[in-house]
Amino acid sequence: AQSVTQPDIHITVSEGASLELRCNYSYGATPYLFWYVQSPGQGLQLLLKYFSGDTLVQGIKGFEAEFKRSQSSFNLRKPSVHWSDAAEYFCAVGPPSGNTGKLIFGQGTTLQVKP
């Protein structure tokens, strides 16, 4: 079955500290991989994506993610968290090709930032 697991439902970090949000997936082939961020009352904003090539991808707002095929993981990182990063983060996978582009989402990780 296709699924995405975000093991951490809630994470609290201090402002300026580093951050890593975990994501593991189960998929028949190597999917396209995404991280989205959702602030309260807002839609989903695409942070970054991985299709192929370099396994370390850079995104907006200083975020990066690393694809590890052997671990079926796509963890999101940021070296220094800002208070404005407090939000909910979703990892998602989608088919690498074909007509159906529906995404499968993890349950989300809520990030709280302490001053």
Q: Which of 52, 26, 48, 50 is nearest to 37 (CA)?
A: 48
Residue 31 Cβ vs another protein, minimum distance, rounded to whole Å: 8
Residue 42 Cβ vs another protein, minimum distance, rounded to whole Å: 6
Q: Is 25 exposed, middle or buried (0-12, 13-18, 19+ CB in 10 A)?
A: buried
CB of 14 closer than 8 Å to CB of 112: no
| Nearest CB to another protein, comparing residues 37 and 81 | 37
Binding status of residue 19 toward another protein by CB under 8 A = no
In the region spanning residues 52 to 91, those forming contacts with another protein, defined by CB under 8 A, are 90
Residue 111 Cβ vs another protein, minimum distance, rounded to whole Å: 17
Strand runs labelled E in 22-63: 24-26, 32-38, 45-50, 56-58
Residue 16 Cβ vs another protein, minimum distance, rounded to whole Å: 30
| Nearest CB to another protein, comparing residues 52 and 115 | 52
CB of 101 closer than 8 Å to CB of 52: no
Residues that bind another protein (CB under 8 A): 31-32, 34, 36, 42-46, 49, 51, 90, 92, 94-96, 98-108
